[in-house]
Amino acid sequence: MTVTKSKDPIAEFNKWFAEAEAAEPVNPNAMTLATCTVDGRPSARMVLLKDVSDQGFTFYTNLESRKGTELANNPLAALCFYWKALARQVSIEGSVEAVDDVEADEYFASRSRMSRIGAWASKQSRPMTGRFELEKRVAEFTAKFHVGAVPRPIFWSGFRIVPKTIEFWQEHQFRLHQRVLYTRAGDGWKMETLYP
Ligand SMILES: Cc1cc2nc3c(=O)[nH]c(=O)nc-3n(C[C@H](O)[C@H](O)[C@H](O)COP(=O)(O)O)c2cc1C
């Protein structure tokens, strides 16, 4: 298997992603998200890709979480996908923008009711005295919304990574892997191959 040299890395990503969806039984959309504090302390965690387009790569989270705070203060991020079954990696770097309210509302409404209540109940990334505290909050918000609509919390939304670079990596024999790096250049993309 080789990396196809397309002029459009998003089209290339979509092709690889479709193959990952067919090959990976669990969460082919899982990606590592790296963020950084303004004073240069990096952190990384997994999130789920919920949309990809020419505009960028979108995920959703609690805006008051560690990642949310870091992105608010330093809107730069890196993403990394690894699809074991295909021996492929895609690494993305770029700036980050907020998903608009209409798009976030639409995505939030598509989640299960319990996931929507969970978003209200979780003070993501902040200390908790014990599991019971979380369960109590889930019960409180379940009672609060009763059978009515569960709106999107103001502190819960999406971020879109607008890519500056996208690198495709395909494993090859003897560690002579193939790497193709796309770098944004004006309206298009510059393409280079890199030593493995
Ligand atoms: C496979 C996987 C997918 C995840 N997806 C998300 C996600 O889409 N959004 C999210 O906020 N957390 C997600 N998490 C949890 C995060 O990895 C992380 O624990 C949480 O967001 C808190 O991160 P922070 O304290 O660095 O902000 C996921 C975890 C795993 C293992």
CA of 185 from ligand 1 middle (Å) equals 32
CA of 46 from ligand 1 middle (Å) equals 5
> Which amino acid residue places its CA nearest to atom 5 of ligand 1?
47
DSSP readout, 61-125?
A: EETTSHHHHHHHHS-EEEEEEEEGGGTEEEEEEEEEEEPPHHHHHHHHHHS-HHHHHHHHH--TT
| 33 has a pLDDT exceeding 60 | yes
With 0-12 / 13-18 / 19 or more C-beta atoms within 10 angstroms meaning exposed / middle / buried, residue 16 is buried
With 0-12 / 13-18 / 19 or more C-beta atoms within 10 angstroms meaning exposed / middle / buried, residue 159 is buried
Q: Is 175 part of the annotated catalytic residue set?
A: yes
Here the tokens at position 86 are 């295909």
Quick one: fold of 9-104+154-194?
Pnp Oxidase; Chain A (2.30.110)
Give the strand pairing for 42-48 and 51-53: unpaired
What is the C-alpha to C-alpha distance for residues 159 and 70, in angstroms, rounded to an integer? Answer: 12
pTM recorded for the entire structure: 0.96
> Which amino acid residue places its CA nearest to atom 29 of ligand 1?
46
> Which amino acid residue places its CA nearest to atom 19 of ligand 1?
45
Q: Where are the domains of the chain?
A: 9-104+154-194
Q: Which residues line ligand 1 (CB under 6 A)?
A: 27, 30, 43, 45-48, 59-62, 65-67, 124-125
Q: Of 59, 4, 64, which is closest to residue 34 (Cα–Cα)? A: 59
Query: How far is CA 85 from its chain centroid?
Result: 20
pLDDT of residue 5: 64
Collapsed DSSP state (helix, strand, coil) of residue 55:
coil
Q: How confident is the model at residue 174 (pLDDT cuts 50, 70, 90)?
A: confident
> Which amino acid residue places its CA nearest to atom 11 of ligand 1?
61
Per residue in 145-173, pLDDT (tens digit) is 999 999 999 999 999 999 999 999 999 98
Per residue in 111-148, pLDDT (tens digit) is 999 999 999 999 999 999 999 999 999 999 999 999 99
CA of 194 from ligand 1 middle (Å) equals 31
Q: Of 66, 175, 179, 184, which residue is the catalytic one?
A: 175
What is the C-alpha to C-alpha distance for residues 139 and 75, in angstroms, rounded to an integer? Answer: 35
Q: Whose structure tokens read 């598509």?
A: 110
CA of 177 from ligand 1 middle (Å) equals 30
